[in-house]
């Protein structure tokens, strides 16, 4: 379990792009389950779409990537510093199964598949009320910046 204060220590993201509110479970090297509470107050709802607010798919993938980063950091037993960034390296098989609307709670389930040549690969899905909203395989990498 990880609350928002611990998440803020590990992820460099801040409002409005921090998309993980709480970690419910984490098994080093295996899996993580986290939450993103979707509120009507999210800034993207002003334009996506004013007549029918829907969370952008790319932000659902970003939420999954942030959960994946937390799993990677826990697995490696590292706390990233200001010179470490965690980037997308690829997204395969992304499928959007249902819209995510204000009031929904995204349950972010990410499983570690492998790490090769510094690239982490994860199987990820986000669910709302037990229904898959999005699923994808994510590839991510950590880099040092100057």
Indicate the domain borders of the chain: 4-144
Mean pLDDT of 24-30: 98
Residue tagged active-site, from 5, 13, 48, 51: 48
Q: Model confidence at 13, in pLDDT bands (50, 70, 90)?
A: very high
Q: Measured between alpha carbons, how far is 4 from 93 in angstroms, rounded to an integer?
A: 30
48 is catalytic: yes
pLDDT at 117: 93
Q: Measured between alpha carbons, how far is 74 from 115 in angstroms, rounded to an integer?
A: 14
Q: Phi and psi at residue 63, in whole multiples of 5°?
A: -60, -45
Does domain 4-144 fall into CATH 3.30.160.270? no
pLDDT of 146 higher than 80: no
Mean pLDDT of 45-69: 97
Mean pLDDT of 26-44: 97
For the residues of the chain, what is the DSSP string, one character each? -B-HHHHHHH----TTT----EEEEEETTTEEEEEEE--TT-GGGGTS-TTS----HHHHHHHHHHHHHHHHHHHHT----TTEEEEEEEEEEEEE-S---TT-EEEEEEEEEEEETTEEEEEEEEEETTEEEEEEEEEEEEEE--
pLDDT at 20: 98
pLDDT of 84 higher than 90: no
**Percentage of residues in the chain having pLDDT higher than 70:** 100
pLDDT at 80: 87
pLDDT at 82: 86
Q: Dihedral sign for Cα 79, 82, 84, 85, please.
A: positive
**Percentage of residues in the chain having pLDDT higher than 90:** 89
Mean pLDDT computed over every residue of the chain: 96
Mean pLDDT of 49-77: 96
């Amino acid at each position: 379990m990880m609350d928002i204060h611990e998440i803020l220590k590990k992820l460099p993201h801040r409002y409005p792009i921090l998309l993980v509110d709480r970690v419910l479970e984490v098994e080093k090297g295996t899996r993580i389950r986290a939450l993103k509470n979707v509120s009507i107050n999210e800034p993207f709802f002003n334009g996506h779409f004013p007549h029918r607010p829907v969370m952008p798919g790319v932000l659902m993938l970003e939420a999954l990537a942030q959960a994946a980063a937390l799993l990677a950091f826990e697995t490696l037993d590292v706390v990233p510093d200001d010179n470490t960034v965690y980037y997308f390296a690829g997204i395969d098989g992304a499928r959007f199964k249902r819209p995510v609307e204000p009031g929904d709670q995204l349950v972010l389930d990410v499983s570690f598949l492998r790490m090769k040549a510094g690239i982490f690969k994860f199987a990820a899905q986000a669910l709302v009320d037990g229904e898959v909203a999005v699923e994808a395989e994510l590839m991510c990498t950590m880099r040092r910046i100057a």
